């Protein structure tokens, strides 16, 4: 199939969800597919699930087309188990067995035997296979089916699951690994000692939509004065609970002499999986379109990204591209490390530092603008689609060449 339709090879992208779904890895996969499609004959293999927690079958099984790309959808035979939390606790315990770890992977879902059977049956039909996200079954069990043609995009961060032995072989199996950041690669190398596997720093590019308007976002949501922005799933695992706590404490503080504390609003955009505080200084705007998201970046003082576990934050790259700084927790090693390298934001280790950073960004606009400019320059140097597409094309050309010998 190599070289069909004037394109340089064929590629099957394997990802747990695809299409109109929320999620950083899934959005990354969709954007990458769209940008590779003009250069490679790309197809996608995925499940019929839309929700990462239940894995309930939502989309019809079978073949369809999304954005001009053929997509093969396979039913989820078993979603997340009711006793998943118990399986998780046992798998993360010091005296766990390999059987306990496999039970965790199975209980986590999505279990889709037909998807894995498709990958195995079509193992000779594609020049390359691109697997997204190490933790789920389609990747964990799919890469070993086609190791010589597999490229892994692990989206890995320093979480308990990555310490499980069941994943060790996965990080040594593929022909190559595409990391999102230097920090992610360093973390994986420290843990798995798999430097012999060829790898590249890829990531995802940022493109600004046309007609961005800060005033339009303010008018639509009735916003006056400065505001900080959170974009993403509103869930404990993304640090939303701590963010809401820190925000309330900062806003409720009294200035010296009994005057009011700093005035600002926290704007929260995204799907809420936990309650958003009902406060005058917190505005929940729900899920917003890609275009409106950039209006929000243009209007905000800074992006607050409280997640402790990130392999790459797409919203941080987007905010930087708009010249806006980010604020993140220091314990998020990958994100904090990238923020230091970019010089595009500030990280906090405690509530006191969180409060000081937000106050500084309000009171010192020259600092805010300088950080944002550094972030914009970093994205322009590193996370651009022409560079990323060229790197992936080179990588898959090498995979084809190695398999041709």
CATH code for the part of the protein at 214-382: 3.40.50.2000
Using the Cα atoms of residue 350, residue 356, residue 362 and residue 367 in order, give the sign of their dihedral: negative
Domain layout of the chain by residue ranges: 4-205+384-404, 214-382
CATH code for the part of the protein at 4-205+384-404: 3.40.50.2000
* Cα–Cα distance for residue pair 168/159, rounded to 1 Å: 14
Under 8 Å CB-to-CB from 366, ≥6 apart: which residues?
Answer: none
Average pLDDT over residues 386-399: 93
Average pLDDT over residues 167-194: 95
Under 8 Å CB-to-CB from 326, ≥6 apart: which residues?
Answer: 302, 303, 304, 305, 313, 316, 319, 320, 339, 344, 345, 375
Backbone angles phi, psi at 345, to 5 degrees: -175, -165
The radius of gyration of the chain from alpha carbons, rounded to an integer in Å, stands at 22
pLDDT of 25: 87
pLDDT band at 262 (very low <50, low <70, confident <90, very high): low
Distances in whole angstroms, Cα of residue 134 to Cα of each of 168, 310, 354: 10, 13, 32
Backbone angles phi, psi at 50, to 5 degrees: -115, -25
**CA quadruple 337, 156, 312, 106: dihedral, nearest 10:** -150
pLDDT of 203: 87
pLDDT of 22: 73
pLDDT of 261: 53
* pTM score: 0.83
Residue that wins the pLDDT comparison between 357 and 2: 357
Average pLDDT over residues 44-65: 96
Lowest mean pLDDT among 71-80, 113-122, 308-317: 308-317
Under 8 Å CB-to-CB from 115, ≥6 apart: which residues?
Answer: 14, 45, 46, 47, 74, 138, 142
| Identical topology for domains 4-205+384-404 and 214-382 | yes
* Cα–Cα distance for residue pair 305/346, rounded to 1 Å: 11
DSSP letter at 53 equals: T
* CA max distance for the chain: 77
């Amino acid at each position: 199939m190599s070289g069909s339709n004037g394109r340089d090879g064929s590629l099957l992208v394997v990802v747990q969800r695809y299409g109109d779904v929320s999620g950083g890895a899934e959005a990354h996969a969709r954007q990458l597919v769209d940008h590779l499609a003009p250069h490679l004959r790309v197809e996608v293999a995925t499940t019929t699930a839309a929700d990462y927690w239940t894995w309930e079958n939502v989309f019809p099984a079978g073949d369809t087309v999304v954005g001009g790309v053929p997509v093969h959808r396979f039913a989820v035979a078993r979603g997340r188990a009711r006793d998943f939390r118990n399986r998780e606790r046992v798998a993360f315990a010091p005296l766990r067995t390999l059987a306990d770890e496999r039970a965790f992977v199975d209980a986590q879902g999505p279990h889709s035997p037909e998807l894995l059977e498709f990958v195995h049956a079509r193992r000779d039909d594609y020049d390359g296979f691109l697997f997204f996200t190490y933790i789920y079954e389609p990747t964990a069990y799919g890469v070993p089916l086609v190791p010589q043609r597999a490229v892994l995009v692990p989206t890995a961060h320093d979480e308990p699951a990555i310490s499980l032995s069941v994943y060790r072989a996965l990080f040594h199996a593929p022909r190559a690994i595409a990391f999102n950041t230097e920090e992610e690669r360093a973390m994986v190398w420290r843990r798995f000692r798999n430097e012999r596997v060829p790898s590249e720093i890829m990531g995802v590019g940022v493109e600004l939509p046309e007609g961005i308007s800060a005033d339009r976002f303010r008018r639509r949501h009735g916003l006056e004065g400065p505001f900080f922005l959170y974009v993403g799933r509103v869930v404990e695992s993304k640090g939303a609970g701590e963010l809401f706590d820190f925000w309330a404490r900062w806003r409720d503080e009294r200035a010296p002499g009994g005057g009011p504390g700093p005035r600002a609003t926290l704007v929260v955009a995204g799907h809420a999986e936990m309650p958003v505080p009902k406060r005058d200084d917190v505005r929940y705007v729900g899920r917003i379109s890609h275009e409106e998201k950039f209006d929000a970046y243009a209007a905000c003082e800074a992006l607050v990204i409280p997640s402790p576990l990130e392999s790459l934050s797409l919203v941080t790259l987007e905010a930087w591209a708009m010249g806006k700084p980010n604020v993140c927790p220091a314990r998020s090693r990958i994100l904090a490390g990238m923020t230091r390298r970019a010089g595009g934001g500030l990280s906090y280790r405690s509530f006191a530092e969180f409060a000081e950073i937000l106050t500084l960004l309000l009171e010192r606009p020259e600092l805010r603008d300088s950080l944002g400019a550094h972030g914009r320059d970093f994205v322009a140097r590193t996370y651009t689609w022409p560079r990323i597409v060229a790197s992936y094309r080179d990588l898959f050309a090498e995979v084809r060449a190695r398999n041709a010998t």
